[in-house]
Amino acid sequence: MTDDAVVAVPQLTVDDLDAETNRERLRKRAAALPERADLAVFPEYALTGFVPDDRVHDVALARETALGWLREVARESAVAIVAGFLEAGADGRTYNTVGYVPPVETADPDGGLPDETAVYRKRNLRGAEADLLTAGEERVVVETAAGATALLTCYDLNFVAESAALAEERVDALVVPAAWPAAYSENWRLLLRARALDGVRWVVGAGRTGSREVADAPATEYAGRSAVVRPDGVVHRSLARGERDLVATLDEDLLREQRAFVGSV
């Protein structure tokens, strides 16, 4: 991290199995963000939604398609984008994937995907995900305005081994798109704080809000409660369940001071 980064979390609802509607929603929300934002983080499955049955395979997007859509959002809003989607892998499998696309100034002027583009496939699947999707294998760290930034997804927060491995890589920020159930929202907040504290890093949690109401699928209420947590485990900024934007500055000096305090420098 070279300067204080400004991170935005547009907390939103998601239309499950309706990628075109979600694409337009992301575009509008990103375009309305403050001009000073460096990075916008959207929830898990923000482009496609998710239902616990075989319909996930029908709505899954090819990686190039999803990243192309995110690149358009990044170009129009001049901000780096992180967002989740169901990925139709080239291997015929379906993945819970998070894409990162850098801001327009680093993008390929010829329209291709820039070298800094990255994807993370969720390594720890839960419940119906484990029956329908394939777990990823690689941990992913990208360079953003917040410095070395690791990508995790929702349930990954529960696994201390993930946090420990990323602490070894000395990441400055951990970005976590999620679709956390409202019934367990206290666990979400607790784990965000724990992962900030045990890695001495900034943590940005982007929670889906609203509910899933899809025919022949169980209804689910989502927690929202997006938050930015400081490297000392203190909640810096947070939301309740409304469709609002969380905007926070990640203070480089605070990160440096906390690492010196705990002896991790």
Query: If you count DSSP H runs as helices and E runs as strands, how many of each does the chain have, helices first?
Result: 7, 14
Domain total in the chain = 1
Q: What is the pLDDT at residue 109?
A: 53
Q: What is the pLDDT at residue 245?
A: 98
Give phi and psi for 244, each to the nearest 5.
-135, 170
| 184 vs 111, higher pLDDT | 184
Match 């609802």 to its residue by tokens.
Answer: 13
Residue 41 has pLDDT above 90, yes or no: yes
pLDDT, tens digit, 9 for 90 and up, residues 128-184: 999 999 999 999 999 999 999 999 999 999 999 999 999 999 999 999 999 999 999
Which are the contacts of 159, defined by CB distance < 8 A and separation ≥ 6?
Answer: 124
Residue 22 has pLDDT above 80, yes or no: yes
How many percent of the chain have pLDDT more than 70?
94
Give the span between the Cα atoms of 264 and 165, in whole angstroms: 15
Q: Is 114 exposed, middle or buried (0-12, 13-18, 19+ CB in 10 A)?
A: middle
| 227 vs 2, higher pLDDT | 227
Q: What is the pLDDT at residue 17?
A: 97
Consecutive H or E run containing 20: helix 19-31
Buried residues in 185-212 as b, exposed as e (16+ CB within 10 A): beebbebbbbbbbebbbbbbbbbbbbeb
Residue 114 has pLDDT above 80, yes or no: no
Give the span between the Cα atoms of 134 and 71, in whole angstroms: 25
Give the span between the Cα atoms of 45 and 139, in whole angstroms: 18
Q: Are the C-beta atoms of residues 154 and 179 closer than 8 Å to each other?
A: yes
The amino acid at residue 182 is: A
**What's the domain range around 199?**
5-262
CATH label of the domain that carries residue 177: 3.60.110.10
Nearest-5° Cα angle at 164, 195 to 178: 40
Dihedral through CA 53, CA 56, CA 57, CA 58, nearest 10?
Answer: 110
Task: State the pTM of this model.
Answer: 0.95
How far, in whole angstroms, is CA 26 from its chain's centroid? 13
Give the span between the Cα atoms of 206 and 203, in whole angstroms: 10
Q: What is the pLDDT at residue 81?
A: 98
**Quick one: DSSP state of residue 3?**
S
- Distance (Å) of CA 182 to CA 100, 170, 252: 26, 31, 32
Q: What is the pLDDT at residue 264?
A: 80
Average pLDDT over residues 51-71: 97
pLDDT, tens digit, 9 for 90 and up, residues 191-201: 999 999 999 99
Q: What is the pLDDT at residue 107?
A: 47
Average pLDDT over residues 76-83: 96
Give the span between the Cα atoms of 2 and 252, in whole angstroms: 7
